[in-house]
Chains A and B, each alone.
Chain A
């Protein structure tokens, strides 16, 4: 069972979370071509190793945050501590 370190609520079970998925760079909406939008929407790096991903704390603080996890070991790199508002919150995820 994976405990997700929420920056606001502390470690929470994955059933409390919604997995948004891999962080992909969002193109500039003013200049993006349809192809760039579709790459952003669908194409994924899907690494076996360090992955930056967005989680949504569904049953807790109801905030989006970004964490880095190793997809082969499930260890979170540098998990944020509860109350540390500078870590994680709304940093480039799908809002």
Chain B
């Protein structure tokens, strides 16, 4: 993995202003012992009347967009609005896996840039995001799955991404707890091994971006729900829709005047886009995940099985985190189901029979904004000043940093950056879909 310096460099800004202060070991110990003197990580300020840009959604994507607007382009008069608290949506509910072994060259280039940014995030943000680059195994249980793995690994190699197909013997060396015998109903025939993949503490990423953005002057407004977006001159009778121009945002805490609104609201993306008169190819579905009680570390890599609809990793605390596929019908309800836990347990035990006595601690779900081609919707829309960074489905967390960087570039330059050009909303009208389903973490 190359650690490329950022293309749009921060060197233009005075060094002291670029990064928030470090957390020193002695300060932490001192404050921890006394348990006082903790500084606020970000300011709480009154909602202003006008901003240069408003980001709706205080998750990884929204905060990263605000951060890069300030850090890369010097646009600091920015507000991030969230109807709950920062990181309350998908950013705090995902299984924190990052990787770049995608299927299409567009996808690989994009996610690989994200992995680079994750690699240097702790330095950029002066925050330990606990990035554990532990390797990523995607298991194949059928001949056709092995074939797809080969396809993916060849695409990856051509794009310069470390990725290879390995057999059961090597899998056993990497993850001895996996049952690689011929006994299971779906025996493990091989795997796509992606060494640069790993897991990150997702809350730290949210807090790190919020802290760094705040340091540069960006305002974070929690419990601020967007009720309507004011658009004038559009084709619809109320002035919204294609051809219109964003004038401002009406929230539960007052009206904000702004020329730019960026929609980073994942599962609620359609509802926010409706307010601007933009229709999206998105269906909202919950994805359920679960975590076990903590045990000694025994699983050194991230393990994914597409055929068995499950992905597993072990946190630094020792808990096993499981994720599955999205629920089979559209839903905005975050309730869990017993059906999910039953199926999950069955599939995990098929992979790792040794953990049959482990107990689940809890389960939760998050809303995923699914698109027909399993690729996001990014960039400009028919409404001038209304941008989208949505459609992130089940793969939004790993793309957070690069999405923020590219969306900020789009806002600052007024042009769609090359890296996100394939993901524009107009691809659906043009029929130029980016078929990434083959590389989704699990079969949907």
By a CB distance below 8 angstroms, the chain B residues around A17 are: 328
Determine the main DSSP class of B at the interface with A: loop
Contact partner of A14 among B268, B279, B329, CB < 8 A?
Answer: B329
| Complex contact B328–A19 (CB within 8 A) | yes
A73 and B428: CB pair below 8 A?
A: no
Q: Are A46 and B428 in contact (CB under 8 A)?
A: no
How far does the Cβ of A72 sit from chain B's closest Cβ, in whole Å?
5
- CB pair A48–B271 under 8 Å, yes or no, is yes
B283 touches which of A14, A15, A35, A46 (Cβ 8 Å): A46
CB 8 Å contact bits of B260-277 with A (1 = contact, 0 = none): 000000001011000000
* CB closest chain-A residue, reference B371: A42
Contacts of A2 in B (CB 8 A): 329, 337
Contact with B along A44-72 (1 / 0, CB 8 A): 11111001010000000000000000011
In the assembled complex, B372 has its CB within 8 A of some CB on chain A: yes
* Residue among A21, A34, A51 making CB contact with B431, cutoff 8 Å: A34
Write the chain A residue with the least CB distance to B281: A42
We find that the number of chain A residues with CB closer than 8 angstroms to chain B is 26
Question: Which residues of A56-93 are within 8 A (CB) of B?
Answer: 71-74
A46 to B273, CA, bound (A): 11
Q: Is the CB of B332 within 8 A of A1?
A: no
Complex Cα distance, B428 from A13, in Å, reads 33
Considering the complex, give the chain B residue whose CB is closest to the CB of A2: B329
Residue A28 at the B interface, CB < 8 A? no
Chain B residue at minimal CB-CB distance from A73 = B333
B7 to chain A, nearest CB (A): 33
Contacts of A31 in B (CB 8 A): none
> Is A46 a contact of B284 with CB atoms below 8 Å?
yes
Interface centre among A21, A48, A53, A73 (most CB of B within 10 A): A48
Q: Do A38 and B330 contact each other (CB < 8 Å), given the known contacts A43-B279, A43-B281, A45-B270? A: no
Interface of A with B (CB < 8 Å)? 1-2, 14-15, 17, 19, 21-22, 34-35, 38-39, 41-48, 51, 53, 71-74
A-B contact pairs, 5 of them (CB 8 A): A1-B338, A14-B339, A35-B429, A42-B428, A46-B282
